[in-house]
Amino acid sequence: MYTLFPSIKLQISSQNCAFLASTILLNTLIFLFLNRPTPPRPLQSTQFEFPNDCEFGKVYVYDLPPILNKELLQSCNNSAEFWSSRCNDLSNGGFGPHATGLELIVPQNLTPAWYWTNLYAGEVVYHKRILNYKCRTLNQDQAVAFYIPFYVGLSIGKYLWLNHTANNIDSHSLMMLKWVKNQDPWKRQNGSDHFIMLGRLTWDFRRITPDSDNEWGTSLLNMPLMKNVLRLTPERNVCR
């Protein structure tokens, strides 16, 4: 009895050791297989189909007589809005002076991109930027839209706060319409594919009575030739 049990114990222990060793070996092989180094996949040249950047068409920017934009910008000191410096507001392409005192609000590397921009400088900013627009064309026949870079906000700013007649206030607007109606693109669509940026609030351009010297603003948006022209303004007319 005493010689039987040691042999059985030895036999069982040998079987357990063999099973344990084979299990460890199998797990090691699986681990090495799953973590084996693999050669990098060869780069495949993928053909991307980019959409046409100008799929909706190109825009043509009119080269207006300087009296309707450039000269108005140059005479920025000649303004009735005496409480602010229009020249300072219109610097840096209309963005105005660089913003200061933002160190605790804006990350330091972003502060050069911030400006004190005046709400009424929109027409200058828009004009400067659209001149570099990727879908701008110099060929009228290739355009589907036509931008009129008239600085009407600057033109009426000279008259709003002083005693000027309706003819004074509307003079530049009438000059612009007289010029643009003789352009071939205008004649083709009667201005329906034209647009303009207005650099003031909408009510500054909606004088109802054409010849009234007592009403506010210019009557530009109520002039018959402006009926089909798209207007971009800092605010919309909630009454229409």
Per-residue pLDDT of the chain (240 residues; tens, 9 = 90+): 444 444 444 454 566 666 666 666 666 666 555 555 555 454 444 444 445 689 899 999 999 999 999 998 888 776 555 445 578 788 888 888 888 888 888 888 888 888 888 888 889 999 999 999 999 999 999 999 999 999 998 888 878 877 788 888 899 999 999 999 999 999 999 999 999 999 888 888 888 888 888 888 888 999 999 999 999 988 776 665
What pLDDT was estimated at residue 45? Answer: 41
pLDDT at 139: 96
Cβ count within 10 A of residue 167: 11
Closest CA to 170 of 216, 220, 208: 220
**What residue type is 234 in one-letter code?**
P
pLDDT in the model for residue 226: 94
> Whole-model pTM?
0.72
What's the rounded Cα separation, in Å, for the pair 3 and 14? 17
Helix runs in the chain, H state only: 4-34, 70-74, 86-89, 122-130, 152-157, 166-180, 184-189
In total, the chain counts a number of residues equal to: 240
